[in-house]
A = this chain, B = another copy of it.
Amino acid sequence: MPETLKPIQAEKGEDARQIRGERTRQALLEAAFDEIHQHGYRSASLNDILKAAGCTKGSLYHHFPDKHALGLAAIVDNVDRFMGTTWLRPLAQSTDPISTLLDILQRHVDGEVLCDVRLGCPLQNLSQEMSGLDEDFRTYLNGIHEQWRTAIADALRKGQDAGQVRKDISAEAAATMIIATHQGTVGLIKTAQSTDIGASSFEAFYQYLNSLRTTGNSTPGPKEGLTS
């Protein structure tokens, strides 16, 4: 115990207890998310979460009032980050919305986004399980959908203004359908336990998305011409 270091920690106000507490909190969030992702919220066992997080009931109920709060926090923590990096940011920065969408979707089909096909998309799993059961979860998940829809619609509108996207379609309606088709495809993949069916769905989806381009606008394949 080097005593010279101790005061420094104190001066910084870095309470070692708080640090440790924060670490177990994070461990709990992570373990909870994994458990929920694997088994769903209702079937997620607190004991299993504790085992994975390496702590005990006492710790859990010190940091969270109940299972509901733990689950919601774990979901929010993870989904917010995922949506931001995978969808919202790329779309906001895009100069060619159709190509950006094709790119994101292709990465799903390639299995680069969903770590495990069998588990499906956490957002979809949770929406499916909880939206009819718990209003807090539902409100949050629906909000995510809204953000998502708005991000796609905005990108499409921007594309319309730039003359890349046909103006005779409703950006909102197209955005809604794009989300529906994407979510539906992920669901099919999960049930089939195979990405083949996803590729089949994407084949038609690819044609549809390209049909949204203004005539004469180039239609690069999903794997090329959009890395810039």
Contact = CB atoms under 8 A, between A and B. Distances in A.
Interface string A157-178: 0000000000001101110111
Contact of A142 (B182, B184, B192): B192
A200 interface: yes
A67 interface: no
Interface string A170-212: 1011101111111111011011110001001111110110010
Can you tell how many copies of this chain the complex includes?
2
Interface stretch (A21-29, A78-86, A125-133): A125-133
A119 interface: yes
Contact of A118 (B40, B132, B181, B203): B132
Given A132-B120, A200-B176, A190 B42 contact: no
A191 B145 contact: yes
Interface in A89-136: 118-120, 124-125, 127-129, 131-132
A204 to B, nearest CB: 4
Contacts of A203: 170, 173, 176-177
A214 B190 CA distance: 33
Interface of A: 40, 42-43, 118-120, 124-125, 127-129, 131-132, 138, 141-142, 145, 169-170, 172-174, 176-185, 187-188, 190-193, 197, 200-205, 207-208, 211
